[in-house]
Amino acid sequence: MSTHSEKNNLERMNKDLHMTIEHTLKELTNEIIAWAAFADRHNPNDVKLDTDLANTEYLELLNTIETDVKKHIKININNFDFSTYYSTEDSINSFLTAFLSESENREFVNIILNHKKNTFLFMAAATILYREASLLAFANSHYYVAMRLHNLCKRLHSQMEFANLQFMENFKQELSRRNRKPNDVRWKGRVEKLRRKYLELDERRRNEMGNDISIKKVATWIHQYHNKEDLEFETIRDHLSKARKGVFTNK
């Protein structure tokens, strides 16, 4: 769509209340819902909404759920009573409950339960369900019901974003913790080997220069001539100081 056409549509919608409400109810697209539920905030490919999701499996899954919701609305359309506000709200709530019921819609529930991220998927599916229900109310001129359902959509969307952030942070911390254990073991061995090497060099230098030579001078000599690890002078001096005290590992 050209920029000119977009501007014309926005101008027209801005002055058309009916069109504005319909556009608002459709704002939470499957792409936006999928991003809120599944995107990795630490992945640069997933940071912006205008980029493709790193895994399109989730979007395809949400599209399938949307199709299922619309199919059930069509099948049950005669069960809705749009005569009053209360009858509309009651019949839509009954439909929502039935759709999420394992006994009523086992195929849908199995998709949710079998998915490895079922908590986020359930919230995403519920958001789609409320969105389509709000559009159903809107199509039957029950605008207040439609907006109430839309507000539930927005709440679910916000909860997904927050839950996803917490999940990703906790997940990355757990990965970091698991990786740190073997790294700590490897580093512990390296530290001991390094300090014993420095102690040998220290004894050699003291034999050459005298026992009163300072740690600073020995560390400078090691830094200049025996520093394959390319460590900073302060690090070498710290290791040497601890080696002289017989401390070969970090507790």
**How confident is the model over 84-122, as pLDDT tens digits?**
999 999 999 898 888 876 545 555 656 655 554 457 778
Confidence at residue 134, expressed as pLDDT on a 0 to 100 scale = 94
d(CA 175, CA 163): 18
d(CA 129, CA 7): 31
d(CA 39, CA 61): 14
Does position 66 have pLDDT exceeding 80, yes or no? Answer: yes
Does position 50 have pLDDT exceeding 80, yes or no? Answer: no
d(CA 198, CA 21): 74
Confidence at residue 203, expressed as pLDDT on a 0 to 100 scale = 92
Do the beta carbons of residue 73 and residue 130 sit within 8 Å?
A: no
d(CA 135, CA 66): 13
Q: Six-digit token pair at 220?
A: 């400078």
Give Cα 71 distance to the centre of its chain: 31
Within 13 Å, how many C-alpha atoms sit on residue 118's CB side? Answer: 9
Percent of the chain with pLDDT over 70: 74
Q: How confident is the model at residue 77 (pLDDT cuts 50, 70, 90)?
A: very high
pTM for this structure?
0.56
At residue 115, what is the residue type? H
Confidence at residue 164, expressed as pLDDT on a 0 to 100 scale = 66
d(CA 58, CA 53): 9
Look over the chain and give the mean of its residue pLDDT values, rounded to a whole number: 79
What is the rounded average pLDDT of the residues 124-145?
Answer: 92
Give the closest residue to 173 by CA, choosing from 185, 165, 161.
165
Highest mean pLDDT among 45-49, 55-59, 190-194: 190-194
d(CA 129, CA 99): 9
d(CA 215, CA 204): 13
